[in-house]
Chains A and B, each alone.
Chain A
C-alpha cells in the first residue's frame, strides 16, 4: 500500500514537472476552448429557425409550412412533440416553434376560425423581438391569403363589396404567442465545456498513461524498481492513480477557468461529473497502457498514443456534434466509449439528467474499461517479469 502511494506521488510529481506535457495537457486545451468559444460562440442567427409541430397534417397546414419555409428569413424544422421542440430551443437549434392544431385545414376550408400556438425563446432579447415580429407578420400574411380564398368562394352568393367589408374584420387564424419553457441557455460555450473534459480522457489520461509507462522503461529507472520490493501491481496501480490525479487536476483547472471567464449556464453536478470523468479516464488509461506494451520502442509507443489522441478528438464530439460527421464516420464515433461518456457528461451539465437514466450506457463503458484495463495489465505483468530492461 505504501509503495503504491509512493509510486503514485512520484509519477504525479513527474507529470506536473514535465513542462511540455503540462503545456499540451493543460495550456493547449484551455487555449482551444477560449479560441473556439470566441469563434463559434458569438454567431447571431441570420435566418430564424422555426420548429413546427403539425398535428393537422392536411392540405392547409402543409401550405402553411411550405410558405414559412420558402421565406428567406425562416427555416423550418419539424418536430413530433413539445419535449423535442423545447430541447431544440435549449440547444439553440430553433428560436421558436409553432403548434398547428388538428382540424386546422377542415376549419379553414369550412369558413371557421382556427388558431396556432407560437412558442418563442424569450431568453435572448435581441432575437425575441425579431422572431416574434417575423412570425406575427407571417401569420397575418397567411390570413390575407385565406381571406381572399374565402372571398372568392363567397362571391357566388354575395355581392363583392359586402363580402370584403365583412371579411376585413375576420381573422381566420388566431396566433397566440407564448414563452417557450426553455431550460438554461445552451450556447457554444456550454456545449464545448463537456467536450473539453473529453479532451482530458485523450491527453491527460490516454497519452499520459503511455508516456508514464514508457518513460520508466526508456530511462531504465524501471530497473531500480524491479530490484526493489515493489511488485508489478504496485507499479501499475500507482501509475494509474497518478494519471487519474493528473486528469482531475486538468478538469479542475479547466472547469475553474471556464467558470471564471465564460460564466457558462450549466448544472454543476460535480459528483456526477467526477464519476463520469473516472469512467472516461480509466478507458483512456487502459488504451494508453496497451499502446505502451504493444509498440516495439518507447518512441513508437509515445508517437502512437499521441497520434491516436490527436485523431480521436475530432470523432468523439468534443468540439462539435458528431452529426456533423459523414454518416459512415458517425458509426465509428458512436461505438467509441469516449463518445458515450462525453454525451452523458453533456446531458449532465446541460440538462442535469440523473445518472440512473444512463445506466445501461454506463455499464457498457464500465465493462469496456475493466476488460481493456485487465487485458493491458496481464500483458504488462507478463512482459515486465520476462523482459530484460
Chain B
C-alpha cells in the first residue's frame, strides 16, 4: 500500500470566537491540505466569514490557534502574508480607481517587483477576461466584473493559498459557472483553495472536501460523495402538489412510505421506474401533481439531516 502523505496548508486547532459573550465559532478543528479545494458550506450567519477572516488574520480569536504552512498565525509575519490571498465577500476595491490602478496599488502593497507587475496584469486580464473593463473605474462595473477584479487583486502577489468568501453569491447561475471554471483552473495551477458558500451545487461541483458549518460549529468534514452517502439517504422521488392537496396526497401515497418535507412530499428509495405508477395513484385521487421528479441525494439533504433545517435561499 502506498501511503500518500498530503502536506498541510492550514491547520486550525480548537478555535473559539465570541461576540459579546455569545459564541460565534465553537471549537473549530480543521485541516486543509495543499492543492485541494476545500469548501465551507453553511447558511447565512453560520460563521463562514468569521472563520475565514480569523484564518487570514483579519479578526482576532479568543482561543485556539491557526497555523499556515506550520507557522503560527499569531506572529503574522510577511511570510504568511505573502502566502495568502483573500477574496472578501464584497470586492473591497477603490471605486474611483480603475481596475488596473487597483491592481497596481495592491501589487505595491505586497512589494511585487515593478518589472513583473505589467506581465502579471496582462496574464490576469486574459485569464479573467477583463479586457473590456481593465481601464474602467470600479464604480461603473457590474457585480460579476467587480468580483473578477477583486480576484485579480487578490492574486497579484501570486499566493499559494486562495481563500474566497462566497465568491458567487448574488451572481447569475451562468456567471457562477464561469467562476467555478476559474477556481478549478487556479487549483490546477497548484493553488490551495478554500471557498465558502451557501450553494450546495457549488460545494458539490467544486470541492474535494466540504465542511458543513452551522451556528459556529463544523458538523462534519468529508468529500461530498461521502457526506451524501452518510447522511443524504437514497435516491427518492419528490412530488410537488398544491398546498391544499398535501394532506390528501400523503394519505393516497401512504403505502409508499411518503413523507412530508416542509412543502413537498418525498418517497424514499424509489426511482424513475416508479413514477408512472405514482402519477396514476394521484390522479385516481383527483390530485394533479405540479411536478414529480427523481432526486439523487444532495448536500442539501445532508444539511437537513445534520441540522434539521434547510440551507436557505438556494435559487
Contacts and interface: CB of A to CB of B under 8 A. Distances in A.
A63 interface: no
B58 A223 contact: yes
A386 to B, nearest CB: 8
Contacts of A229: 78, 81-82, 109-111
Given A6-B109, A220-B88, A227 B56 contact: yes
A221 B106 CA distance: 11
A219 B88 CA distance: 12
Contacts of B92: 219-221, 223-224
B101 interface: yes
Interface in A221-269: 221, 223-230
A2 B97 contact: no
A167 B107 CA distance: 96
A13 B86 contact: no
Interface in A180-232: 219-221, 223-230
Contacts of A13: 96-97, 101
A192 to B, nearest CB: 32
A227 B84 contact: yes
Nearest to A18: B96
B146 to A, nearest CB: 13
Nearest to A226: B58
A14 interface: yes
Contacts of B86: 224, 227
Contact of B57 (A17, A221, A227, A230): A227
Interface in A125-151: none
Contacts of B90: 220
A2 B111 contact: yes
Contact of A223 (B84, B88, B109): B88
Contact of B109 (A14, A18, A225, A388): A225
Contacts of B56: 227
Contacts, number: 66
Q: Range of interface residues on chain B?
A: 20 to 34
Contacts of B207: none
B93 interface: yes
A227 B53 CA distance: 10
A3 interface: yes
Contacts of A6: 104-105, 108-109
B110 A224 contact: no
A18 B97 CA distance: 11
A17 B81 contact: no
B94 interface: yes
Contacts of B94: 10, 14, 219, 221
A389 B58 contact: yes
A388 B108 contact: no
Interface in A1-57: 2-3, 6, 10, 13-14, 17-18
Contacts of B111: 2-3, 229
Given A221-B93, A227-B84, A386-B60, 10 more contacts: A6-B105, A219-B94, A220-B92, A221-B92, A223-B92, A225-B109, A226-B58, A227-B57, A229-B78, A229-B81
Interface of B: 53, 56-60, 78, 81-82, 84, 86, 88, 90, 92-97, 101, 104-106, 108-111, 153, 157
22 contacts: A3-B108, A3-B109, A6-B108, A13-B97, A14-B97, A17-B96, A17-B97, A18-B96, A220-B88, A220-B92, A221-B93, A221-B94, A223-B92, A224-B86, A224-B106, A227-B58, A227-B81, A228-B109, A228-B157, A229-B109, A386-B60, A389-B58
